[in-house]
Amino acid sequence: MSATIIDGKAYAAGLRGRVAGAVADLSRDGVVPGLAVVLAGSDPASQIYVRNKARQTVEVGMESFEHLLPATASEAEVLALVARLNADPAVDGILVQLPLPAQIDSQKVIEAIDPGKDVDGFHPINAGRLMTGVPGFVSCTPLGCLLLIRSVRPDLAGLDAVVIGRSNIVGKPMAQLLLGQSCTVTVAHSRTRDLEAVCRRADILVAAVGRPDMVRGDWIKPGAIVIDVGINRVPNPQAGEGKTRVVGDVAFAEAAAVAGAITPVPGGVGPMTIACLLRNTLQAACQRRGLPMPALDAA
Catalytically active residues are: 53, 97, 120
Element (H, E) at 38: strand 34-40
For residue 137, which amino acid is it? F
How far apart CA 155 and CA 53 sit, in angstroms, is 31
Neighbours of 295 (CB within 10 A): 8
Question: How far is CA 3 from each of CA 246, 260, 264, 278, 288, rounded to the nearest angstrom?
Answer: 20, 5, 11, 30, 42
Long-range Cβ contacts of 217-220 (<8 Å, 24+ apart): 217/251, 217/253, 217/254, 217/255, 217/257, 217/258, 218/254, 218/258, 219/195, 219/255, 220/254, 220/255, 220/258, 220/259
How far apart CA 83 and CA 21 sit, in angstroms, is 31
